[in-house]
Amino acid sequence: MPRQKNEDLAPRRAALYIRVSTEEQARKGYSLPAQKEDLEEYARKNGYAIAGYYIDEGKSARKKYTKRKEFMRMLEDVKAGKIDVILFIKLDRWFRNVADYYKIQEILDAHNVAWKTTQEHYDTETTNGRLYINIRLSVAQDESDRDSDRIKFVFDSKVARGEVISGSLPMGLMIQDKHVVPDPETADIVREFFAHYKAHGTIGGAMTYIRETYGIILWDPTARKMLHNPLYKGMYRDNPNYCEPLIPPEEFDAIQKLLESRCIRQNESGRVYIFSGLLICEECGQRMTGSHSTDKITERRFYRCRNATIYKRCSHRHQIGETKLEQWLLLNLPSELARWEFEWELKTTQAKKPKVDRAAIQRKMDRLKDLYVNDLITMDQYREDWSKYSAQLQEAQETEPPPTPDFQGLRDMLKNVLTDLYPTWSPEQRRDLWRSIIQEIRLDGDNSPRVIFRE
pLDDT value, residue 188: 94
- 118: in domain: yes
- 152: in domain: no
Q: Are strands 173-176 and 114-117 parallel, antiparallel or unpaired?
A: unpaired
pLDDT digits (tens, 9 = 90+) for 26-73: 454 578 888 899 999 999 999 999 999 999 887 665 567 788 889 999
| Domain-ending residue, one of 203, 231, 261 | 261
pLDDT value, residue 3: 45
pLDDT value, residue 359: 74
- 168: in domain: no
pLDDT value, residue 268: 47
d(CA 342, CA 352): 18
Specify whether 261 is catalytic: no
* Ranges under pLDDT 70 in the chain: 1-9, 22-29, 59-63, 96-98, 123-132, 134, 136-154, 262-270, 296, 350-357, 372, 395-402
Q: Are strands 299-304 and 13-20 parallel, antiparallel or unpaired?
A: unpaired
pLDDT value, residue 386: 78
Residue 377 and residue 395 in one domain? yes
pLDDT value, residue 226: 94
pLDDT value, residue 391: 77
Residue 96 and residue 184 in one domain? no
Give whole-number Cα distances, 271 to 262, 291, 301, in Å. Answer: 16, 10, 10
Q: Which domain holds residue 300?
A: 279-346+406-453
- 161: in domain: no
Residue 69 and residue 101 in one domain? yes
pLDDT value, residue 117: 87
Question: Structural domain tally of the chain?
Answer: 4
Residue 92 and residue 199 in one domain? no
Contact call for residues 86 and 51 (beta carbons, < 8 A): no
Beta bridge partners of 321: 302
pLDDT value, residue 199: 86
- 23: in domain: yes
Residue 22 and residue 86 in one domain? yes
Residue 87 and residue 9 in one domain? yes
pLDDT value, residue 10: 77
Give whole-number Cα distances, 269 to 272, 273, 291, 307, 425, in Å. Answer: 9, 12, 11, 24, 20
DSSP 185-250: TTHHHHHHHHHHHHHH--HHHHHHHHHHHH-----HHHHHHHHH-GGGGT-BTTBTTSS--SS-HH
Which long-range contacts (C-beta less than 8 Å, at least 24 apart) are formed by 27-30? 29/89
Residue 133 and residue 242 in one domain? no
- 359: in domain: yes
- 113: in domain: yes
Residue 299 and residue 433 in one domain? yes
- 162: in domain: no
| Of the candidates 293, 286, 351, the residue with the CA atom closest to the CA atom of residue 323 | 293
